[in-house]
A and B are shown apart, each in its own frame.
Chain A
Amino acid sequence: MGMEKLFRLMQSNGELTADDLSRRTGLSVEEVRAQIAEWKEQGVIRGRQWVIHNDKVQNRRIKALIEVKIKPEAGGGYDRLANRIARFDQVISCSLYSGSYDLLLEVEVDDSLQVATFVFDTLSKIEGVISTQTHFTLKSYKHNGIQFEGDEDEERLPVAP
């Protein structure tokens, strides 16, 4: 149970230190550290980042989603090509989906021209890419479970029965 709690806490809040995690879960700091090391070793944990509200960033970068249809390869399926596409620096996330397209990429670049360049000059030239469809992000409301404009703090009674 302790490890499950640890996992949930780490998933919901990357700021928590080993000390914080120990206090919240009741595990010792050493146990927390050992478990984190094990998860890293196993490749379960791959890093942590801040969640940024992109709309608030000055000179914010452009984000877009690109639906990509690709041709599966004999033997390798989608993996080789998906990994190849994911390697580009512009691509910040890449997953394989069921449905009308195969890969959904999120790209982040400095301006809209760079999106166009990436799609036309890079992506569409890759052998096995059948078609793409690009959606520019206009505004963000929630990211990784964090809502950007949430509830207002109401007046909660400081003392109540």
Chain B
Amino acid sequence: MNYSSKISETVGAIPRSGIRDFFELVIGRDDVISLGVGEPDFKTPWNIREAAIYSLEKGQTSYTSNMGLLSLRKSISRYVKDLFKADYSPESEILVTVGVSEAMDLALRALCNPGDEVIYHEPCYVSYSPSIAMTHAIPVVVETKKEYNFAVQAEDIAAKITPKSKVLILNYPTNPTGAVASPEELEAIAKVAVENDLIVLADEIYSELTYEGDPGLSIVQMPGMRERTILLHGFSKAFAMTGFRMGYACAPPELIEAMMKIHQYAMLCAPITSQAAALEALERGGPAVEEMKVNYEMRRDYMVRRLNEMGLDCHSPGGAFYVFPDITRYGLSSHEFAIRLLEEEDVAAVPGTAFGECGEGFLRCCYATAFDQLEIAMDRMESFVGRLVKQA
């Protein structure tokens, strides 16, 4: 059968993820030290796992409210108020989702008509552009630059505004660059959003893992933004709960209601076991998050130091668990550099281009890996770039 005629044109047009291509190359090689992961190396803290087990023991195996357990929504409301200084009603303004990925998809589907333009900044998480395309909206890229440590500039957003502009996606701290925004930068972006009547999707998934500045800093706090922001957050990164698939959206009731319409038919509700775990995470997970954060910060400082010492230009990222060194001086493309690093030194790092064209010249190295592994990886990388310099 000619399946390509059966697949929807929209889906058919979405290119294969660059990450998946690279994954195929890495898989099957022994002794690879991977800096290519996108999740914590820590296991979920035990009290959170215990809460999931206890929930099963008690026989909590049913559906929950489409919105999520009210006890969890109440806890999210307190947590979000504490962290982001933003008030959301547990009854009508919080929706529990299957990871931020689902929440992002719901928000885009709830907002976009075919042909609407959604502005987002690259390099970025790989799902934004395809998720926008799947709603038949138009992805509009704003490139971020090394000179601003990859924080998006308001004037670059303003330059992309057209009558069709409807949504702006922001992600701070940013995957893959680790970028954080300053209050001034966010305020300027907020002005552009208000002037052009944009809805802003604030992907806050790495917020707690902010090492420079206020982890709770968000566009939602800027003047005029509460009514036009959908705050998306989850448990995967800070609480090391990727496999639980837990996220949530906070927004005015009308927007949550629209997202709910899709969620109730597509997903029904997030898994109850994961919701029980998430509740424990919010209520008693704080110290474990702090402990992990101290470890990430130590590793970040080490990676930045080593990379710069070996000649790669690498800014110290303000958050997340990635460093994004500049490799242009070696005259190789990101892809060539990553492939040779893998083949010659068994170190896997993701080419910057997997996160957008303007990622060319950069490499994403995740430091959510045991310190001794990072040490070996950095030694191997040092001998690799040493050879590149000699060959040049």
Contact = CB atoms under 8 A, between A and B. Distances in A.
Contacts of A159: 19, 22-23, 26-27, 34, 36-37, 348, 350
A158 B125 CA distance: 17
Interface in A108-161: 151, 156-161
Given A8-B294, A159-B26, A160-B19, A26 B302 contact: yes
Contacts of B37: 156-160
A60 interface: no
B interface SS class: mixed
A96 B19 CA distance: 57
A159 B32 CA distance: 11
Contacts of A23: 302, 375
B23 A158 contact: yes
A160 B36 CA distance: 6
A89 to B, nearest CB: 36
A5 interface: yes
Interface residues of A, number: 13
Nearest to A8: B294
A24 interface: yes
A160 B349 CA distance: 10
Contacts of B175: 161
A161 B26 contact: no
B371 interface: yes
A90 interface: no
Given A159-B22, A159-B350, A161-B127, A151 B43 contact: yes
27 contacts: A5-B294, A8-B294, A23-B302, A24-B298, A24-B302, A25-B298, A156-B37, A156-B39, A156-B41, A157-B23, A157-B37, A157-B39, A158-B34, A158-B37, A158-B348, A159-B22, A159-B26, A159-B27, A159-B34, A159-B36, A159-B348, A160-B37, A160-B38, A161-B17, A161-B19, A161-B126, A161-B175
Q: 10 smallest A-B Cβ distances: which pairs?
A: A159-B36, A160-B38, A158-B34, A159-B23, A161-B126, A158-B26, A161-B19, A26-B301, A161-B38, A159-B26
